[in-house]
Amino acid sequence: MALTPTDAQKIFEDNFAPWVQALNLTITEIDPSGATLTMPITPDLARVGGIISGQALAAMADTAMVFAAFGHLQEPRPVATTNLDTQFLRPGTGDTIQCRAEIVRAGKALIFARATMTSLPSGKDVATATATFFVP
């Protein structure tokens, strides 16, 4: 049975650390190819000049790629981030960051994913990330 965004949001609320939940992530899409999440740009997550912090972007990307893995697996299973690489392209400003995470390749023990973070309403990409996850 495929996960719905409502199912995924409940998994997020029940299983992720409070500091990750403080990002106020919303899972808007999830399917076997990936997941899309949004994060509001708030004063708590911004640095000087109202720019979203790099730490928040990296945590968002990692979380989005975890949900992409869940979508691929069609269930929440333990996955461990073994590598996370984030590239910051431009300052993230605006109202919201949208992150689309996609599965690049999935084997029996490793899942490779990539994510693109876009500032809304401008529609400009602010960061990309890639990750590898171990599936025990």
pLDDT in tens, 10-67: 999 999 999 999 999 999 999 999 999 999 999 999 988 889 999 999 999 999 999 9
Whole domain around residue 98: which residue ranges? 5-134
Beta bridge partners of 80: 134
Given a contact cutoff of 8 angstroms between Cβ atoms, the answer to whether 56 and 99 are in contact is: no
**Residue 101: CATH number of its domain:** 3.10.129.10
Closest among 125, 101, 120 to 40, alpha carbons compared: 120
pLDDT in tens, 47-57: 888 899 999 99
More confident residue, 49 or 88: 88
Structural domains in the chain (count) = 1
HSE value, Cβ hemisphere, 13 Å, CA-based, for 51: 13
Stretch 94-123: mean pLDDT, rounded?
97
Q: What is the pLDDT of residue 50?
A: 84
Whole-prediction pTM value?
0.95
Q: How far apart are CA 74 and CA 6, in angstroms?
A: 14
Q: Which helix (H) or strand (E) holds 97?
A: strand 96-106
Stretch 66-80: mean pLDDT, rounded?
96
Closest among 88, 68, 75, 53 to 132, alpha carbons compared: 68
Length of the chain: 136
What is the amino acid identity at position 96?
T
